Structure 1
Amino acid sequence: MRLPLAFDPAPLVADVEALERGDWTEHFVKQNYDGEWSALPLRAQAGVSHPIQLIYAAPGVTEFVDTVWRARMPGVSAVIDAFACPIRSARLMRLAAGSVIKEHEDLDLDVADGFARIHVPIVTNADVDFRLNGARVAMAPGEAWYLRLADPHSVTNAGNTARVHLVIDLVVNDWLLRQLAG
């Protein structure tokens, strides 16, 4: 579901282009993908420092803090601030050209359970094929999407450039429910 929010992708792209290859952490669930899938934490579980713990919040975690990366990314940070609900985690997720995220389910990401994951594409290409319940979802840079990722989903990046999304995990509140009712 596309939310009634839109963001100028230019400052987001500038933030991403300022990153170095070594800034990204390889995704730790290797059986879920082929190729290169990585993340950069912007908001993470409080009190952790291991790179993998910074890109994943265990179920039941309630304390989150901004990382040093968020302060370095004013465009991306402004998008996160636009969400008037509690922000659990936020990260950039990069799927390299020629890479595939295999079909899987994220069972803890359903509005009915009080949590939502929002995708804001920053960099993409026409050959990115995001599937939710087998149906293609075409997302353009600067759009905001709620995807019920407790359902089966997959991504194929058959293009020549990486796909980068801002991925924000939120606690559902009345503001977010109004956006979803849009």
Structure 2
Amino acid sequence: METTNVTTDRIKLSFNFDAAKMLEEAKALQLDNFEYYDVIPLRSPAHLVDTSLPFPPPAEDYADGSWTDWLDTAALEKSPYLTSIVNFFKKHTTVNLVRLLRLAPYATVKEHTDPTLGLEIKKSVIRLTIPILNNKNVIFFLNNTPVLMESGECWYMRLTSPHKVINNGDEERINLTIDVIPNDWIRQMIKESDKNMS
């Protein structure tokens, strides 16, 4: 499979979404209490969504998500605007894992890497990040440099590089993350956006 050479480790794509609508639906799904990091799955491995389905057989390589089928969860089905965003990407590429990620006030995601989340990996998934609720005290560091993301924007980041998140604010942070299989369409979108940022 083709790899995509880009000039930077972070690229804002040309897609923008309505952060207020996303936030309204995210808030409707929230649990009453959470600490540190909370995940609401919106699209998950089929056997986790429909427990009547068998576990998938063991796979030699889990990198690209082809080891299982992926289904929308009940949480996504309750959320029409979030569904429309997921469906937008489904029209163009294969969508695997989709989640709402909430980071508590004054919490930190320690620096780490995700070995399969980069276009430079031949068999991979890439993660698109759409901030929903952000504040000026939330800093996403990629290669020790802040990524300045605004709510409603859609970003590709090379997460095979070291990254961490620090929430120094008194408000939670909520992101929508969409894992997709790189194909010609998303590669072209990333290349064009990369040129526009250069």
TM bracket, shorter-chain basis = 0.7 to 0.9
1:6 and 2:21 aligned: no
CA distance in 2, matches of 1:137, 1:12: 21
Instruction: Decide which structure has the larger Cα Rg and report it.
Output: 2
Which gives a bigger RCO, structure 1 or 2 (Cα 8 Å, sep 6+)?
Answer: 2
The worse-fitting range, judged by mean Cα deviation, of 64-73 and 40-49 is 40-49
Separation in 1 of the partners of 2:71 and 2:21?
23
Q: Which residue of 2 is the match for residue 124 of structure 1?
A: 134
Over 6 Å off, 4+ runs? none
Supply the distance in 1 between the matched residues of 2:182 and 2:40 (Cα, whole angstroms): 23
2-structure distance, mates of 1:44, 1:20: 18
Match of 2:99 in 1: 91
Structure 1 position 41 matched with structure 2 position 41:
yes
- Residue by residue over 1:30-57, the C-alpha shift from the partner in whole angstroms, topping out at 9 and shown as x without a partner, is xxxxx6011000000111269xxxxxxx
Aligned-pair identity (%): 32
> What secondary structure, in the 3-state scheme, does the structure 2 residue paired with 1:130 have?
strand
Name the one with the larger strand percent: 1
TM-score (norm 1): 0.85
1:20 deviation in Å?
3.4
Q: TM-score, normalised by structure 2?
A: 0.78
Aligned residues: 166
CA RMSD, aligned part only? Answer: 2.1
Amino acid at match of 1:164: I
2:62 — aligned with what? 59
Cα deviation, residue 178, structure 1: 1.2
Find out whether 1:103 has 2:111 as its counterpart: yes
**Aligned counterpart for 2:171 among listed residues 152, 161, 172:** 161
Equivalent residue number for residue 74 of structure 2? 68
Residue segments in structure 2 that go unaligned for 5+ positions in a row = 1-10, 51-60, 193-198
How many Å separate the matches in 1 of 2:161 and 2:136? 24
Deviation at 1:75, TM superposition (A): 1.4
- 1:160, distance to aligned residue in structure 2 (A): 1.1
CA distance in 2, matches of 1:172, 1:159: 34
Deviations 1:61-100 (Å, cap 9, x if unpaired)?
3311111111111111111122121001100000011000
Please state whether the residue corresponding to 2:29 is helix, strand or coil: coil
CA contact (8 A) 1:62 1:88 kept: no
Letter in 1 for 2:189: Q
1:20 and 1:79 map into 2 onto residues whose CA distance is 19
Which runs of no fewer than 5 residues in structure 1 stay unpaired?
A: 25-34, 51-57
